[in-house]
Each structure stands twice: as structure tokens, then as C-alpha cells.
């Protein structure tokens, strides 16, 4: 319950800030999300006349920011590959891919229309929309949630019931911590038979790696390969999505006003990312090399390759659909789980939260 109070309170603060800044957001200067004229090429032509060969109307705005919700990790590789391989440029866009400091912070920036596109999980924008924030999910690249429990081979957690008699550790303030009690109840696990330790992320990792906890709540596209490499052994994975809690990750959001005024910009952006996403999943080694060149002090190429592969495993899409396409039924079920878990107080139909309209057809 502590998580829900903190998270919802933070979002209410953002709602009040957005309401107070509503007029300013609509008249923001170019660098803060306002419209700008089409970018000029070196010979003075605008992008409308530069002949990019893309069968889409010209972008209304060509210089945009994609704000990530954290520092570099392998699941972000497709965005950097799209930029470094010149795919954004091919679609007539100049995109700044910028690191972030959490999904709530990204939600704040996008809801105020200070930047154009942001990366979050689907949880935060759904909560924000229910509180009146003018945002929408425009793409979601993980049709299966990366949220998981990892356990040691000698204390395996193959099903939620296996948590009974064991110790699990999670990060304070994390989404998992917020849904923990309902996850146990939904899967008929005796709450009193599980020891749950909530600590900051660094301490969480230490407790698990030192085997002071039997299981840990992490993301498959981030810590999973890091922990396995650190411990030199295969760990036991349990995806929450396989047990009723498919909370979608790696989603893109934008402001309602920006969406209305810049539909062709979004179509070009999402078409470029679709192409870059496919290239990354087909060429994880090259994507890791690109990442290493950009972030030489933090990137371990072997781990990034594994993170990209695990991202690909979750990027399930129906035949003929682009990357980022969302299933309304999945989004509806997710919103229902959030409602039941106390992550929000009301729920609307799924199409109130997301749209596939700007994805390549």
C-alpha cells in the first residue's frame, strides 16, 4: 500500500502542475515542444522538398526529442540504432535520443508538452490519463511484460505457490512492490508464508547475489542477463505475465495536443522506429557495437546482446502488424489488473489509453 500512496500522490502533483501550466504548454518555444518550421537542408530546401523518397506527407515538425525513462540499457538499443544508422534522417527527422530518470519524470515532461515523445511502461500513462493528464500511448513494443521473478537453482520459484516458505526482495517504490499483495492473492499464495523485503535497488541486487534472498523482482530485458553473468550460472525465471499480470513495458507516449497537430511527424517517427527495431533484432551484435561506441564506459556488449534478444522475445506481434502495435484486449486486461491492485481508482475502455493510428500500415 505504501507504493500506491507514493506513486498516486506523485501523479496528482503532476496533474496540478499540468493544470497550472496548461496555457504555457500550448505556447511553448520550439525547443520545448512548440511547432517549428520544416528544417532546412544545407542547400536551403525544406524537408518537404528534399526528396526523402518516403511515401508519407511531410512532417509538421522535424526536430524532436525522444526522452527515455532511464539510462542506457539493451532494450533502448533500437532507438539508438535508428538514429545512428540514419533511419530517422531517411524519414526526414532530426531526433535527439536523450536519457531519463524514471517514467514518472517522463510523464511529467510529456504531459506538459515540453518534449514530444517519451518512453515509459504502460502503467504510468494509464494512471496519468485516469487523473486527467493529456497523454496517450502511441506504440508499445513489448506485447508481453518483462516483469519477472528470478530465483536461485537451489531454491527455485517455478510458480507463485513456490514463494511460500521463501524470501523475496524487491525495490521500494517499484511497480512490483505495488502489485505484490494482489499478485499473491490472485495466485492463491498465502501472504503470511512469504517474507518480502523492500529495499533500494542496489541493496536489492546485493541481497539476491549474496543469496540472502531466494527470489528477486526484476526485468528480463535488464537485470536477468546481468545477474546470470555475475553469478556464472543459469537462474530460474518466472514471468508475471504467465500468471495473470501482464503489465506492458517499453511504450511510447505523446501529448494530446502534439498528436493532434503533428500526425505526419508521428507517422514518420514510428515508421522509422519500426525499421530500426527490426534491424536491431536481426543484428544484435552490430547493435551492441553501436551501443558500445556511444556508451563505452557502461556497455558490456555480451550483456547488451542478451538484453536485445530478450527484448525480441517479448516483442510478439500478430502477422502483418508493425512493431509497437497494441492488442486492445491485452491493454484492457492490464488496466483491470491495475484497478484491482489499487494502482488506480477507475478504468475506462482500452482505446482511451492507446492508439495504433500512427503506426505504419
pLDDT for 152: 97
Domain limit, last residue, from 177, 208, 243: 243
**Each residue's pLDDT tens digit, 56-95:** 999 999 999 999 998 999 999 999 999 999 999 999 999 9
Residue 334 resides in a domain: yes
pLDDT for 188: 96
pLDDT at 9 over 80: no
In this structure, are 166 and 216 located in the same domain? yes
* pLDDT tier, 103 (very low <50, low <70, confident <90, very high otherwise): confident
CA 47 to chain CA mean position, Å? 30
Residue 46 resides in a domain: no
In this structure, are 16 and 110 located in the same domain? yes
Q: What is the mean pLDDT of the chain?
A: 87
**Each residue's pLDDT tens digit, 220-269:** 999 999 999 999 999 999 999 999 998 888 999 999 999 999 999 999 99
- The grid cell for 348 is 475506462
Residue 166 resides in a domain: yes
- Measured CA to CA, the distance from residue 54 to residue 90 in angstroms comes to 8
Q: How many domains does the chain have?
A: 2
Largest Cα span, the chain? 70
* pLDDT tier, 102 (very low <50, low <70, confident <90, very high otherwise): confident
Residue 40 resides in a domain: no
pLDDT at 6 over 60: no
CA 338 to chain CA mean position, Å? 16
* pLDDT tier, 353 (very low <50, low <70, confident <90, very high otherwise): very high
pLDDT at 25 over 50: no
Return the SS3 of 28: coil
Amino acid at each position: 500500500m505504501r507504493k500506491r500512496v507514493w506513486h498516486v500522490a506523485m501523479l496528482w502533483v503532476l496533474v496540478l502542475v499540468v493544470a497550472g501550466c496548461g496555457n504555457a504548454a500550448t505556447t511553448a518555444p520550439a525547443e520545448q515542444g512548440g511547432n517549428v518550421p520544416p528544417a532546412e537542408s544545407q542547400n536551403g530546401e525544406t524537408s518537404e522538398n528534399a526528396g526523402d523518397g518516403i511515401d508519407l506527407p511531410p512532417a509538421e515538425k522535424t526536430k524532436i526529442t525522444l526522452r527515455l525513462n532511464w539510462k542506457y540499457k539493451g532494450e533502448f538499443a533500437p532507438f539508438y540504432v535508428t538514429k545512428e544508422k540514419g533511419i530517422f534522417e531517411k524519414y526526414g527527422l532530426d531526433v535527439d535520443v536523450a536519457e531519463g530518470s524514471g517514467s514518472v519524470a517522463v510523464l511529467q515532461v510529456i504531459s506538459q508538452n515540453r518534449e514530444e515523445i517519451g518512453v515509459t511502461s504502460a502503467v504510468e500513462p494509464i494512471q496519468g490519463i485516469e487523473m486527467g493528464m493529456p497523454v496517450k500511448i502511441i506504440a508499445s513494443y513489448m506485447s508481453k511484460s518483462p516483469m519477472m521473478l528470478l530465483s536461485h537453482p537451489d531454491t527455485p520459484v517455478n510458480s507463485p505457490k513456490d514463494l511460500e516458505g521463501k524470501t523475496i526482495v524487491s525495490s521500494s517504490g517499484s511497480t512490483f512492490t505495488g502489485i505484490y499483495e494482489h499478485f499473491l492473492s490472485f495466485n492463491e499464495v498465502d501472504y503470511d508464508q512469504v517474507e518480502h523485503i523492500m529495499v533500494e535497488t542496489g541493496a536489492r541486487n546485493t541481497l539476491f547475489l549474496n543469496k540472502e534472498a531466494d527470489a528477486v523482482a526484476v526485468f528480463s530485458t535488464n537485470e536477468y542477463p546481468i545477474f546470470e553473468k555475475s553469478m556464472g550460472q543459469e537462474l530460474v525465471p518466472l514471468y508475471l505475465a504467465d500468471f495473470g499480470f501482464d503489465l506492458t513495458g517499453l511504450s511510447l507516449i505523446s501529448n494530446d495536443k502534439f498528436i493532434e497537430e503533428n500526425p505526419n511527424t508521428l507517422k514518420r517517427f514510428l515508421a522509422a522506429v519500426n525499421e530500426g527495431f527490426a534491424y536491431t533484432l536481426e543484428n544484435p551484435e552490430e547493435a551492441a557495437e553501436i551501443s558500445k561506441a556511444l556508451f563505452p564506459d557502461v556497455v558490456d556488449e555480451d550483456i547488451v546482446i542478451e538484453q536485445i534478444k530478450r527484448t525480441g522475445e517479448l516483442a510478439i506481434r500478430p502477422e502483418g502488424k508493425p512493431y509497437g502495435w497494441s492488442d486492445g484486449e491485452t491493454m484492457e486486461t492490464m488496466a483491470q489488473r491495475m484497478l484491482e491492485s489499487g494502482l488506480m481508482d477507475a478504468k475506462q475502455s482500452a482505446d482511451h489509453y492507446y492508439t495504433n493510428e500512427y503506426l505504419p500500415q
